[in-house]
Amino acid sequence: MGTPRAKVLSRLTAGKLTLTSSGAAGGGSASSAYTSVEVLPSSYGRISEKLEHLKTSYAYIPVVTGYIAKDQDGIITTLGRDGSDLSATVIGAAIRASEVQIWKDVDGILTTDPRIVPAARPVGTLTFEEAAELSTFGAKVVHPAAVMPAWQASVPISVRNSMAPELPGTRIVAALSQEEDRKGRVAALSSKNSILMFIIRSTRMLGQHGFLAHVFQVFNEFAASIDVIATSEVTVSLTLDKGWKDIDIDGLRKRLESAADVEVKEDLSMLTLITSKRDSTAVLGQAFQIFQENSVHVEMVSQGASNVNVTFVLPGDALTPMTQKLHKVFFEQ
């Protein structure tokens, strides 16, 4: 029987010996919430060298200040929103911990935003891929950047409530075991508003290569991250999260109009259902039935790009009622 591996916690220590990463998610630069963090490979080796021996032989509890880091030039910087969680998962990955615990003020990752649906309840287990998709498309409990180090190192994450430590919370693992395999078709719903859709039409797309490369290059020039995309012979539609980062929308549109006709739709929203590919056909059918019954026009749907989600782009005013109705169908009935 092997030696038990250490546990790494974010923001709160438990009664046993732990490695602790703590820190608030505020502060930093004005755009720190949108910082793109890349952990240098050398960092993992250096962390392991300093801390890994404490798994089996220790005389103290290391308390690591989360959220603060140094860049490759040695300048002190911050990790952005939920940087303390990222600190914990990086340390956990470096020492191959048995678990990383992230302590929040909620009972784990919930089936949807409880401010929209009071009946939302904790999800017992998610895969790393499901958790990353859920947080990318609107869930705020765990930042997608914090999931990646643990995912790559196959170190489980546990999301717990610091005000109710007796609750099991949500466990994030590489794959669901037979005991953890869920009964329902949908694991959770996440949502975002303030979505913009660019509809770009050009006959230059017809049978031509390079047009999409040009479109993506323009978005790259404006540091605009695309969420969902759909293409046809002469049209490409894609979405941006206006609330995520300030972007020069007028300048972006003018650059695109040099090569195509551009229409911009505002006040849209995005509703994502975490579901497996094997269940996505049934989930799509049930969702579209709800949309039809409520006269909701779906602007775009993304299915197949991910193994674990189906995403709908809806009118902004439809987001709350459709989230409530779909949650009722998949979780409350």
Quickly tell me which residue has 């869920």 as its tokens. 182
pTM across the whole model: 0.83
At residue 16, the pLDDT reads 30
Per-residue pLDDT averaged across 26-36, rounded? 46
Domain ranges of the chain: 7-179, 190-332
At residue 290, the pLDDT reads 97
Tokens read off for 332? 């409350």
| Residue 291 scores a pLDDT above 50 | yes
pLDDT classification of 119: cutoffs 50, 70, 90: very high
pLDDT digits (tens, 9 = 90+) for 65-106: 888 888 878 888 888 776 888 999 999 999 999 999 999 988
More confident residue, 177 or 116: 116
* Rounded Cα–Cα distance for residues 31 and 296 (Å): 35
| Residue 23 scores a pLDDT above 50 | no
Per-residue pLDDT averaged across 238-266, rounded? 89
* Rounded Cα–Cα distance for residues 50 and 311 (Å): 43
pLDDT classification of 7: cutoffs 50, 70, 90: low
| Residue 27 scores a pLDDT above 80 | no
The mean-pLDDT minimum among 19-23, 117-121, 237-241, 307-311 falls in 19-23
At residue 41, the pLDDT reads 87
* Rounded Cα–Cα distance for residues 321 and 111 (Å): 16
Per-residue pLDDT averaged across 9-23, rounded? 36
At residue 6, the pLDDT reads 56
At residue 35, the pLDDT reads 53
* Rounded Cα–Cα distance for residues 71 and 211 (Å): 36
Matching fold, domains 7-179 and 190-332: no
248: CB partners within 8 A, 6+ apart: 222
pLDDT digits (tens, 9 = 90+) for 34-70: 556 778 888 899 999 988 888 777 778 888 888 888 8
pLDDT classification of 295: cutoffs 50, 70, 90: very high
At residue 205, the pLDDT reads 63
Residues 190-332: name the CATH superfamily. VC0802-like (3.30.2130.10)
pLDDT digits (tens, 9 = 90+) for 193-225: 989 999 999 876 666 667 888 889 999 999 888
Q: Which residues, in sequence order, are bridge partners of residue 240?
A: 196, 226
**CB 149, CB 39: distance < 8 Å:** yes
At residue 178, the pLDDT reads 67
| Residue 132 scores a pLDDT above 50 | yes
At residue 296, the pLDDT reads 97
pLDDT digits (tens, 9 = 90+) for 136-152: 887 778 888 889 999 99
Per CATH, domain 7-179 is 3.30.460.20: no
More confident residue, 153 or 29: 153
